[in-house]
Homo-oligomer: A and B are copies of this chain.
């Protein structure tokens, strides 16, 4: 059994965009599992934009990662050793842990996975937290109605791709924004979006207006920035804005220069009876089972597809994280770990 875990530790709070120097790889002692505990070997680590928030010490919904600790992540892991009757060596589990290749946790914190039901890594994406985020945020806040228009940025990412596909299944016109022609083609040809706009091309606002001839009823906010600015003038009365992320601003160090658009937003909220509602997926934990049932059926029928952006090895994790914040991922960002090399 391994005596150490290889971890990626946060050593500086990033000033703006994270850099490799903000992290350090270190081997740390791995204690033996106690009663009711298991030793896990991580097989898949999930990278998600919310982690950038945990690296900052600004007030948020969760405590920041302490300097010297590994940032948090969801993971799929294999049981190497178990001191609990519920799990056995070789079992695969879903666990909320951290950026490392081995860990010791309570068996009760693990959810055993059935590899025959779905590829295990799907529980980190389409069947897991990002999928539920899309499904529940759209249902409870977006309240989609057939014939309406929905806009979502990060259209090929873990959440945006699911938002758009569900909206399409619910009978909405779906307009996405993504970075580059290849992603846009994927969004329309494979995901079934009606339109996908390349955010690297000029005049996003003008192209957005053309893509939304009947205005916008739901703007699923993942990005902030230029996409938000392009959508604001197009919002219809009673439009809904589920606010799930603002990735374009996560690396900001200071408030951007003026003019100050806050009063203008409040006036728009007033005159168009808008609903702007932030949420964290944990609010909708009670929906997990209904979501998984519906999503599993969609995956089986092929009505919903998903795409993963996989990097191999713990050494790839920091570059993959930095790239994801810059929009360089194409699909759900995952780190795949093999067994430790001798």
Tell me the A residues contacting B by CB distance below 8 Å: 53, 59-61, 221, 224-225, 228, 237, 243-246, 248-249, 252, 254-280, 283
Contacts and interface: CB of A to CB of B under 8 A. Distances in A.
Nearest to A245: B270
Copies of the chain in the assembly:
2
Contact of A256 (B246, B257, B260, B283): B260
* Most B-side CB within 10 Å, residue of A243, A252, A260, A269: A243
A246 B270 contact: yes
7 contacts: A252-B263, A256-B259, A256-B263, A259-B260, A273-B277, A273-B283, A276-B276
Given A260-B257, A260-B260, A260-B261, A273 B278 contact: yes
Nearest to A233: B59
B224 A263 contact: yes
A61 B237 CA distance: 8
A265 B256 CA distance: 12
A270 to B, nearest CB: 4
Given A224-B266, A249-B266, A266-B228, A61 B272 contact: yes
* Most B-side CB within 10 Å, residue of A252, A265, A283: A265
